[in-house]
Structure 1
Amino acid sequence: MKKFLTVILIILILFAGAVATAAGVIKKLGSPVSASDDGEKVRIEIPSGMSVSGAAKLLAENQLIRNEKLFYYTARYPKIKSFLYGKGEDKAFILRSGIYYISPSMNIAQIQEELSSGQQEYIKVAIPEGLTISKIAAELEEKRICPAKDFIEWCHNPNTVAAYEIPGESLEGFLFPDTYYLTGEMSASAVADIMIMNFFDKVSQIPSLAEMNNADLYQTVTLASIVEREYRVEDEAPLIASVFKNRLRRNIGLYSCATIEYILTEIEGRPHPDRILIEDTKIDNPYNTYKWAGLPPGPISNPGLVALKACADTPKTDYYFFQVVDPAAGRHVFTTNFDEHVQSHSLYTKKSGR
């Protein structure tokens, strides 16, 4: 009997040793690939629909885990993960698509927590004031956010325009210039929605604009889009707006070089001109404010807060004319009569991008 018990004891000891050895091996396989954290991380992209085994293979290929099968089984059976890493690690693993930066010093539990977050890699896109839909589209394509063609088509789609209750033919003027953090391969509709919602949010913070009906707001945005392309120094924006409003009241043409530039570059597809020529001011187009009095049919750019505020809360002046006197500084002189205006008359345009 004693001999039998001794054999059983030896077997149990050997079995316990084997279990302990196996547990040690498993824990080793589940440990971080690197014991030190040097700050280096590997970019991992998990596409929509990827399986857990597919993610395990990707992690192994990038030398971020020691064993694919262990990653899979800890993901499928949280109790195993809890055994390896302690209480609190037995929550279910849900693999979410996204772009992640994984450190080799992370263990399997930490990696799975990261891959469950749905984290995205954001791309910084700075849209300056005064850009048109086509220029914004080109910037988005360059940053690999969405194709320029898709963005332009979406912004000119009548159904899109109607959905936002804009009384015009496109979203021109309503894509607020700002710094955006977007993700790669977004839909054109999603990007446009972010920009236009930002516009309406900003407008709601300016009482004089927030109180306007759609038609009045559209006219104000149209005027602001011209002011945006004309001013260079912020304190002159309200004065330029006052000139245009005085001319509108008297049914005098706005004579804005910015509208001619819009015709040349956006409608006729020509390169950005260094100067506006006299023959350019004779082009037969409803956006030509040299030929037709009143506002053009719609905005010619996407204005920022300075221009919007200048046109919403315009000071009263007697000015009917302005012209550049210092091209380098962007300063203008403002006059009340034509004789003063023609003394040093010169036509300038802003460089592309403004």
Structure 2
Amino acid sequence: MKKKYFFLMMIVSICLFLIGAAAAVVYTPASFNTNPAEQLFTIKRGTSARAIAADLKAAGLIRFEYPTYLYFRLFNKPIKAGTYKLSSAWSVHTLCAYLQAGKQELIKVTVPEGLTLSKTAAILEDRQVIAADDFLAAATNKALLQSYGIPGSSAEGFLFPDTYFFSYNETADRVITAMLDNFFSKTAGIPHFPDDPVQRYEAVILASIIEREYRVPEEAVKIAGVFSNRLHIGMGLQSCATVEYILTEIQHKPHPDRLLNRDLEIDHPYNTYKWRGLPPGPISNPGMTALYAACNPEKSSYLYFRLEDAAAGTHIFTKNLTEHTKAGAIILKRAAGR
């Protein structure tokens, strides 16, 4: 009887020891540093629980690999792929709960209004979201463009300027899709925004020019009105922004401080000083103000505008070349009198 009792007590003691050891493994952190640096930890899609435990051990985020693997299997909840910010001060229990909740670390990226495709790609690469070349390749994917009804050769003009949150394992297609989806979601609320793909593309081209021309939001619809009037009578848009696009995006030259007469004579379809009508494609990715203005231009008799106050960003609008020239002389006289 005493032997059976002793044997039973041994079993109980062993069980209690194992339970205590397991609890120590599960609830004891890998490091007792009170303020350890957090580190990024990536789990690729399809990685097994055993491999995840091994990687956590190699990264110094856990003490024991196999007990951690058993703990993962015991609760049998899926661990979501992605990149996480983890700490060695966390217990296996806390770490496991965090991974199973899928609380991925995201990269916040703000894409300003009026950037070109190449400059957007540079920002995304700088923020380590995606390589610029991969982004540019996805932005010129014909099948993807066709699925969104974009008739151009790239997604230029349709990459909506906004703040985005991307994961560390994004693909170029997912990034482009997120920006295109955002564009169509936002523009759905713009009055008179075209449904027809060709008319929509023309509206985006015009908006991309307005985006690069206006400085004061209230003037965007007035500038749109000037361009609409010019298009209606077959007059050239004569937008400096289109010439700057040729110089910087096509000829890959530095942004000029000012345009020279020879720049205005560049023989290129995007030069709206030489060719009437809209250029072949957008010259930037416009925001809501410019997109609204392109679809809702202010009705007026204005055919010209010129910058009145560089600091304030305001323009003078005139109806003919005589008034336009006179306005320029007044501005020069005013500047000379300062």
The two structures have a TM-score, normalised by structure 2, of 0.89
CA distance in 2: counterparts of 1:35 and 1:270, whole angstroms: 55
Letter in 2 for 1:75: F
1:326 paired residue number: 309
CA distance in 1: counterparts of 2:138 and 2:217, whole angstroms: 32
2:13 paired residue number: 17
Structure 1 residue 164: Cα displacement = 1.7
Aligned equivalent of 1:44, options 36, 41, 44: 41
Aligned equivalent of 2:221, options 238, 242, 257: 238
Aligned equivalent of 2:26, options 26, 30, 39: 30
Contact 1:318/1:336 (<8 A) preserved: yes
What secondary structure sits across from 1:95 in the alignment?
coil
2:143 paired residue number: 159
Structure 1 residue 56: Cα displacement = 2.1
CA distance in 2: counterparts of 1:123 and 1:9, whole angstroms: 61
Structure 1 residue 262: Cα displacement = 0.9
Aligned equivalent of 1:274, options 252, 257, 266: 257
Letter in 2 for 1:241: A
Structure 1 residue 331: Cα displacement = 1.4
Contact 2:85/2:105 (<8 A) preserved: no
2:50 corresponds to 1:53:
yes
1:147 paired residue number: 131
2:97 corresponds to 1:113:
yes
2:308 corresponds to 1:308:
no
Contact 1:30/1:65 (<8 A) preserved: no
Structure 1 residue 234: Cα displacement = 0.6
Q: Give a deviation string over 1:65-93, Cα, whole Å, max 9, x none.
A: 342221122223x2xxxxxxxxxxxx413
CA distance in 2: counterparts of 1:213 and 1:23, whole angstroms: 68
CA distance in 2: counterparts of 1:119 and 1:338, whole angstroms: 61
Aligned equivalent of 2:66, options 59, 65, 69: 69
Shift of the 121–265 alpha-carbon distance from structure 1 to 2, 3 Å rule, reads same
Letter in 1 for 2:118: S
CA RMSD, 1 decimal: 2.3
Shift of the 22–147 alpha-carbon distance from structure 1 to 2, 3 Å rule, reads closer
Structure 1 residue 273: Cα displacement = 0.8
The two structures have a TM-score, normalised by structure 1, of 0.85
Contact 2:85/2:104 (<8 A) preserved: no
Letter in 2 for 1:341: H
Deviates more, 1:31-40 or 1:104-113: 31-40
Contact 1:32/1:64 (<8 A) preserved: no
Shift of the 22–183 alpha-carbon distance from structure 1 to 2, 3 Å rule, reads closer
Aligned equivalent of 1:176, options 160, 171, 177: 160
Structure 1 residue 41: Cα displacement = 4.2
Considering only CA atoms, is the larger Rg found in Structure 1 or Structure 2? 1
Structure 1 residue 213: Cα displacement = 1.7
Aligned equivalent of 2:189, options 185, 193, 205: 205
2:334 paired residue number: none
Structure 1 residue 255: Cα displacement = 0.8
Aligned equivalent of 1:254, options 237, 241, 250: 237
Q: Which structure 1 residue ranges, 5 or more long, are not aligned?
A: 79-90, 347-354
CA distance in 2: counterparts of 1:43 and 1:65, whole angstroms: 14
Aligned residues: 328
CA distance in 2: counterparts of 1:168 and 1:40, whole angstroms: 47
2:322 paired residue number: 339
What secondary structure sits across from 1:144 in the alignment?
coil
Q: Which structure 2 residue ranges, 5 or more long, are not aligned?
A: 330-338
Q: Equivalent residues in 2 for 1:188-227 (5 A)?
A: 188-209=172-193, 211-227=194-210
CA distance in 2: counterparts of 1:10 and 1:171, whole angstroms: 78
1:81 paired residue number: none
CA distance in 1: counterparts of 2:42 and 2:79, whole angstroms: 12
Shift of the 312–95 alpha-carbon distance from structure 1 to 2, 3 Å rule, reads same
Shift of the 7–150 alpha-carbon distance from structure 1 to 2, 3 Å rule, reads closer
What secondary structure sits across from 1:206 in the alignment?
coil
Q: Give a deviation string over 1:120-154, Cα, whole Å, max 9, x none.
A: 32111111111111111111111122221222233
Structure 1 residue 63: Cα displacement = 4.5
What secondary structure sits across from 2:76 in the alignment?
coil
What secondary structure sits across from 1:125 in the alignment?
strand
Letter in 2 for 1:152: L
